Structure 1
Amino acid sequence: MNAPLLVGAGGVLGAVARYAVGRRLPGRTADTFAVNVLGSLALGALTVGVPANAPVSAAFGVGFCGAFTTFSSFAVETVTLYEEGRRRAAVRNAVLNLVGALIAVGIGGWLASALG
């Protein structure tokens, strides 16, 4: 199967999963934080466990994780909090998303190495 179709199929699944998480988690930023950390964990595991040119990398890494994670929503939410005068909440949101995603990538890579 060719890469664009794999990316598209993975993207559809990732977008649906993102929507489902958004429907389950209350609050303005909880769902965005959850998908960014979970998606980063999965991508970290994938990058260690699977060759970059493998079909699963296109489908899951680019497609699913690309559609599932939502750093653009994170950016909008952070700026909105700041513009509303909720400066501490904006900084907290930025730090939690960025640090959480970076830690999750590392844990995902470590898990893939340890289990693989």
Structure 2
Amino acid sequence: MTPPPLGRALAAAAVGGVLGSLARYGLTEWHAVGTGFPWTVFAINVVGSALLAALPAFAVVRRSPLLGVFLGTGVMGGFTTMSAASAETVTLFEHNRDLTAFCYVAGTLVAALVAVAVVDRWSTAAARADAEESGVDE
């Protein structure tokens, strides 16, 4: 599969990134962050990981590299957030919530990996074969 032209790919990633970032911002504003367990960003990162893993299961995404860039790099890249997770971890440490901080870091990693494994398990063998043939993972 031929990659999209660079200018179009950059535009797709930028527009998708704006949409994903706005969705994340809206969710974090809706549920205020405190010094407890940062459930909102935790959920955003786990759900975002699952959605990103699910993209190759959709034939329309496999057929359109530009849609993959828009949804994957753009929307999901803007939606998920390592920087907010890191900042929240530092805040937890600053408030002497060391155990919560460690649980948050480990829990995010484990939950995101489990989410990806579940999505992979739910995808059909045919969808996985199509994704491999079309070079989605390259």
Q: 1:115 to 1:41 in 2, by over 3 A?
A: farther
Partner SS, residue 38 of structure 1: helix
Aligned equivalent of 2:134: none
Shift of 1:48: 4.7
Runs (5+) with no aligned partner, structure 2: 128-138
Greater displacement, 21-30 / 95-104: 21-30
Matches within 5 A, 1:1-116: 2-28=8-34, 29-49=38-58, 50-51=61-62, 54-113=65-124, 116=127
Larger Rg computed on CA atoms = 2
Partner SS, residue 85 of structure 1: coil
Runs (5+) with no aligned partner, structure 1: none
Shift of 1:81: 1.1
- TM-score norm. by structure 2 comes to 0.73
Greater displacement, 48-57 / 70-79: 48-57
Shift of 1:97: 1.0
Distance 2:126 2:76 in 1: 21
Matched residues, number = 116
CA-based RMSD = 2.4
Identity %: 35
